[in-house]
Structure 1
Amino acid sequence: MTQTPADQQSAPSPDQLREQIEHTRHDLGLTVQALADKTDIKARARQRAGELKEQAVLKAVELKAQAAKATSQVQDKLPDSVNDKAAQAAGQVRATTARAGQMWEEKAPEPLRQKTARSAQLARDHRTVLLAAAAGITAIWLVSRRKKD
């Protein structure tokens, strides 16, 4: 079978074929990368955990602002005598806490004090995570209460 002039005109040139091959390779590379990304479960889990952490932190900030606003509103409505009594009670609580801390230092065994100190330091080091978790649990609890009502 011989080629007609029309067949020769419709046949792609070598440069066009190279360009098509490069385009196909590029598309195939993108597809393979997308499939590899989908199968990397650890990376996807880390990404999702990061997103959830960010959401929890934002929610914690929002809840903290709401709590501060509610506290301010309640304090504005309380009479001065109640505020004075609350301040006295807070002072008594601080004093009692200080005495309890002194007793703890005097009477608790050293290994227990060391373990407690390590736990407290861990809590301080991971304060954001703990606050985010508490905010998340609080949000879930509030939502479940609303659904029941």
Structure 2
Amino acid sequence: MSRLIVMLLAAIGLFCAVPSLAQEEQSTAPYAYRQLDDPAKEQQAQDLMETLRCLQCQGQSIADSDAPIAGSMRSLVRERIASGERPEEIRAWLIERYGDYVSYAPQLTSLTWPLFAVPLALVLLAFLLLRRRFRRGGDR
């Protein structure tokens, strides 16, 4: 009976230790969950992090995500802001490294211009069709 109790207690201890080990593994980036000392620089970092997409979660910004890659990206943003880099330089570097998808604020380039032009063309077409339809209705 005592052997069963010892094994049960060991299993419970192991079960309780695993989440703490996993949490320890997530926080390898020094600034993942720690803010910068300078409030102005921290605000710059927060503003930038709100506009960057978590590559693992895809529906959250890196500021909101608990994914390990988001923590690494938050740390990277804070470290670069602390070293004096401007947010747009950091954004450009992240886009170069991970692609346009990482940014919630897409840039107008030779590859992305159709994404901006097609909705405008559709709105213009709808306006012209509606205008034509209502003019015909008024002539009757």
TM-score (ref. length: structure 1): 0.31
Q: Relative contact order (alpha carbons < 8 A, sep ≥ 6): 1 or 2 greater?
A: 1
